[in-house]
Structure 1
């Protein structure tokens, strides 16, 4: 179902499968310590969707949840440990990791929490100190 309206995704082993439909509310890179620690990588490529745009189509009983804070409910496959997405109830959005959506035309438009970066990226995109104002952040930009 990879088309203009929807894309398929899955965990590492394929036990959990899902679709995202419509258009994401945003795409970018997160450099915060929490995302780096969770992903075991220096940066996390995110796509933000309205919760109703994300549908688990297989393996819902294999989805585990962990929340370190009430701001983020991280989801993964309990079979393989593959990361799936993070629900952000305060924002009313779900972050589906770009890497787990098949053939998705990912186009980052912003870097968030760039003040915490461990991997500077000079790509001309806006670099936010924390989050944009519309997402509850300061809206301050930092130098590339």
Structure 2
């Protein structure tokens, strides 16, 4: 599923730079409390990639890690504090925040953890109670 495209990304100050290549496994919006608190926003725009599609090109030593749970290893720049991505080892995917890859053509396909939303969004996209079954969730859809 590699389209041959490579997109450049970075933290807020540019001390950490990376590329993502090919196509993500999924894109959407997460409404869970953890993502909201981590991103300091009512919703987090995600892009999910296989770990080998994400390459740190500058500043690997400048990446901090925090994991509140074993499911999510959140990464940020130690210089500016800018959030970069979250590794999800159980899913075998890395969530690169859409905002840090500015030239990537982001097109959300789903809302996940919508039962926790604090911001209702009426955009016609599927709203999942948690996550799709293939990702270990219930697969239950919610009304927009």
- Range of TM-score over shorter length: over 0.9
TM-score by length of 2: 0.97
Equivalent residue pairs, number: 142
Give the distance between the partners of 2:16 and 2:9, measured in 1 at CA: 9
Q: Distance in 2 between matches of 1:89 and 1:4?
A: 25
- 4+ aligned runs moved over 2 Å, structure 1: none
Q: Quick one: distance in 2 between partners of 1:110 and 1:135?
A: 13
State the Cα RMSD in Å. 0.9
CA–CA separation in structure 2 for the residues paired with 1:49 and 1:116:
24
Q: Which runs of 5+ in 2 are unaligned?
A: none
**C-alpha distance in 2, partners of 1:10/1:42?**
22
C-alpha distance in 2, partners of 1:11/1:75? 10
CA distance in 2, matches of 1:134, 1:90: 12
1:1-144 equivalences under 5 Å are 5-144=5-144
SS in 2 for 1:122: coil
Q: Provide the TM-score with structure 1 as the length reference.
A: 0.97
Structure 1, gaps ≥5 residues long: none
